[in-house]
Chain A
């Protein structure tokens, strides 16, 4: 379980806050989507979980233990992280990219190799890719490698920051479903940051809406779609419904 208690972070010495007094619990094996406009603080919130950003106030706990009790690098080795810009290491092969965290931990070389092959299968890429460099892969393929890298050291927690942001819609949809599948088969606790509300609705079982560094809504997708007190949240959650209605109308118009 991930728990945030009163977490605040300012990048300008307290004049404005990227996240302000956030308290949030994410039970184990939950798929949580954090949605909101850009600048709403969702990425900052995500990064406090694996200490890529250290909060000024408040505390983050994983399974009841404060994260700052563990050295940052060993904490991060236990938490999978998928980056917005993918961030594969261009000077090493796909196999080395995927196997990096197990190697840092000090797994035996044979175990690393076996795990790398298992993961390349799991993210549906051909094994021939293992010897290639990141530059030889397409954007979607690279992000699959990014996901494989995040999962390599068998973490219980997977953090994803706009993982599919730069992909075309088809690839985006396919990768989303695979992530959901991996989340279930590996029994992960997943936190995904996205500005695409539809993606959140379709993949997560719980959605947190952020604005100006605060949580303004928190609930199951169905509940949020059915209405909310805050008009801005209502407008946001209406969007997928309106889109769906327009698509349906378009289809019916043609068949009529």
Chain B
């Protein structure tokens, strides 16, 4: 079997289990919320209209935005509960995903239920009154049983939506089958992307078929079939919950942003903590600024960030001190303002650099950003999704007077393709990326030193700042990774052929850096 497929399969129990639990919880909560709304809406148009309108409105919000919006919302709530009650709500991971998916699940259930109840035959409803049923008896003995098949059809639609949308929970820190898709997309590993899609589709189909069995049982008044379907569904959820239960609490949580180097480093860190005999959870694929906030809120215990990013985006500084001074100031400021511990630098930089194809750079005689500024009005710049919002871009634009013909945004992987296929002429690349050398790119000099140093640094959460075990496990990493090794490790994951998984690359890196 293909080694990438094997590495994907190894993660399946965790990813699938988390995906099932999240979807099941959201669907169950969705049903629990929809039924009272349905009962309230069945007689009163004043309730029906706003409830349906609200549910429809939620449905039009793109899934990933809905998930993302719950993060700041919960963060605010968390600050409030902390002040009032002394405990914090988790703003990342399961809770925001659950809430967003629950909202998503309501519309199909509600709409089908209301349609079913409103379309019940008037003769039957009148007969229910005529034989002497109370309002409650009519609901329980006639209206709900007769609406049940159509209501179940709504639950089926909802289940398929929820399982599909749950793949988008990965960027807010909830492990799901989306981890395959997001990681695969970053590493240009289509086996992983397909594997994630396939697993989500299979899960959705299986769930849909079991719910169909329940629906059939209800429609044909064969309760045994309905119970059978329900039992298999519950058994599936139970099986998904089993590994979670076995997982001991109090393990370490290692975070990673959403690109290959971060996956490799998270795997490397996890490997070292695991070697001490402690359980580790990896939360990968986090948005860039989300990762720091999660660490400061103790939802992550450790991850790797970059000094220039912290300097510009977290501390909002505009000065450009030397590498060493920046590290010193970061350490004291982060500790003072967030309680976050900067354990140390890994030894290499992953800076933003502007890079061009060698041929074009030579032809235009461009070797520095200052030279680039002259030709820029005829050129197109490609960058990742965050670059143009970053202070470093604003500074570059201003200091060098850069005005490009056009700016384009890409997933990092596609950015390199765009450069090689001449869709763009210049890219904002990453200095530790193996593809710079592999693609023979020219990195332009920055004579005005506008781009800050981007030392990779290990950050510990406030709660773990003085954790002796974590320090002992991670201190050997400080200064241990030279840029050449990191580039080669990255390239093992990013290269188009003979791809390795981040975990394999982390193993290679540990070996190559003599970390045993």
A residues whose Cβ falls under 8 Å from a Cβ of B: 50, 52, 72-77, 81, 83-91, 100-101, 104-105, 133, 149
Question: CB-defined interface of B101-137 with A at 8 Å, one 1/0 digit per residue?
Answer: 0000000000000000000011110111111111001
Task: Say yes or no: is B146 at the interface (Cβ < 8 Å to chain A).
Answer: yes
Contacts of B145 in A (CB 8 A): 91
Contacts of A105 in B (CB 8 A): 132
Contacts of B127 in A (CB 8 A): 83, 86-89
Contact indicator A52/B132 (Cβ below 8 Å)? no
Contact of B137 among A52, A90, A104 (CB under 8 A): A104
Contact indicator A85/B137 (Cβ below 8 Å)? no
Interface centre among B129, B134, B137, B146 (most CB of A within 10 A): B129
Contact indicator A91/B134 (Cβ below 8 Å)? no
18 more A-B contacts (CB under 8 A) besides A74-B132, A85-B126?
Answer: A72-B129, A73-B129, A73-B134, A73-B137, A76-B129, A77-B132, A84-B123, A86-B123, A87-B124, A87-B126, A88-B127, A89-B141, A89-B142, A91-B146, A100-B131, A101-B132, A104-B133, A104-B137
B residues whose Cβ falls under 8 Å from a Cβ of A: 121-124, 126-134, 137, 141-142, 145-146, 221
Number of A-B contacts (CB under 8 A): 61
Query: Known contacts A104-B137, A133-B221: does B124 contact A89 (CB below 8 Å)?
Result: yes
Measured in the bound complex, the distance between the Cα atoms of B132 and A50 in whole Å is 10
Which partner residue on chain A sits nearest B145 by CB separation?
A91
Contacts of A149 in B (CB 8 A): 131
Contacts of A77 in B (CB 8 A): 131-132
Measured in the bound complex, the distance between the Cα atoms of B129 and A87 in whole Å is 11
Name 6 A/B residue pairs within 8 A (Cβ), A-sorted: A73-B133, A81-B130, A87-B130, A91-B145, A91-B146, A100-B131
Contacts of A90 in B (CB 8 A): 124, 146
Measured in the bound complex, the distance between the Cα atoms of B134 and A77 in whole Å is 11
Which partner residue on chain B sits nearest A93 by CB separation?
B221
Cβ of B226 to closest chain A Cβ, rounded Å = 13
Measured in the bound complex, the distance between the Cα atoms of B130 and A29 in whole Å is 21
Contacts of B128 in A (CB 8 A): 87, 89
Measured in the bound complex, the distance between the Cα atoms of B123 and A75 in whole Å is 20
Query: Known contacts A89-B142, A90-B146, A133-B221: does B132 contact A76 (CB below 8 Å)?
Result: yes
Which partner residue on chain B sits nearest A100 by CB separation?
B131
Interface centre among B121, B127, B132 (most CB of A within 10 A): B132
Contact indicator A85/B133 (Cβ below 8 Å)? no
Cβ of A198 to closest chain B Cβ, rounded Å = 25
Which partner residue on chain B sits nearest A88 by CB separation?
B127
Query: Known contacts A89-B142, A90-B124: does B130 contact A83 (CB below 8 Å)?
Result: yes
Contact indicator B130/A50 (Cβ below 8 Å)? yes
5 tightest A-B CB contacts, nearest first: A87-B127, A85-B123, A77-B132, A76-B132, A87-B123
Contact indicator B124/A104 (Cβ below 8 Å)? no
Contacts of B126 in A (CB 8 A): 52, 83, 85, 87
Which partner residue on chain A sits nearest B127 by CB separation?
A87
Measured in the bound complex, the distance between the Cα atoms of B126 and A86 in whole Å is 10
Which partner residue on chain B sits nearest A85 by CB separation?
B123
Which partner residue on chain A sits nearest B135 by CB separation?
A73
Measured in the bound complex, the distance between the Cα atoms of B129 and A73 in whole Å is 7
Contacts of A75 in B (CB 8 A): 132
Contact indicator A101/B131 (Cβ below 8 Å)? yes
Measured in the bound complex, the distance between the Cα atoms of B130 and A84 in whole Å is 12
Measured in the bound complex, the distance between the Cα atoms of B132 and A242 in whole Å is 42
Measured in the bound complex, the distance between the Cα atoms of B141 and A100 in whole Å is 10
Measured in the bound complex, the distance between the Cα atoms of B128 and A133 in whole Å is 17
Contact indicator A81/B131 (Cβ below 8 Å)? yes
Contact of B129 among A52, A74, A89 (CB under 8 A): A52
Measured in the bound complex, the distance between the Cα atoms of B133 and A133 in whole Å is 20
Contacts of A101 in B (CB 8 A): 131-132
Contacts of B129 in A (CB 8 A): 52, 72-73, 76
Contacts of B132 in A (CB 8 A): 73-77, 101, 104-105
Interface centre among A50, A83, A105 (most CB of B within 10 A): A83
Cβ of B355 to closest chain A Cβ, rounded Å = 69
Which partner residue on chain A sits nearest B218 by CB separation?
A91
Measured in the bound complex, the distance between the Cα atoms of B223 and A91 in whole Å is 12
Cβ of A107 to closest chain B Cβ, rounded Å = 13
Measured in the bound complex, the distance between the Cα atoms of B136 and A252 in whole Å is 62
Which partner residue on chain A sits nearest B124 by CB separation?
A87
Which partner residue on chain B sits nearest A134 by CB separation?
B124
Measured in the bound complex, the distance between the Cα atoms of B137 and A105 in whole Å is 12
Contacts of B124 in A (CB 8 A): 87-90
Contact indicator B146/A76 (Cβ below 8 Å)? no
Contact of B131 among A76, A84, A85, A91 (CB under 8 A): A76
Measured in the bound complex, the distance between the Cα atoms of B491 and A133 in whole Å is 69
Contacts of A88 in B (CB 8 A): 124, 127
Cβ of A95 to closest chain B Cβ, rounded Å = 14
Contacts of B221 in A (CB 8 A): 91, 133
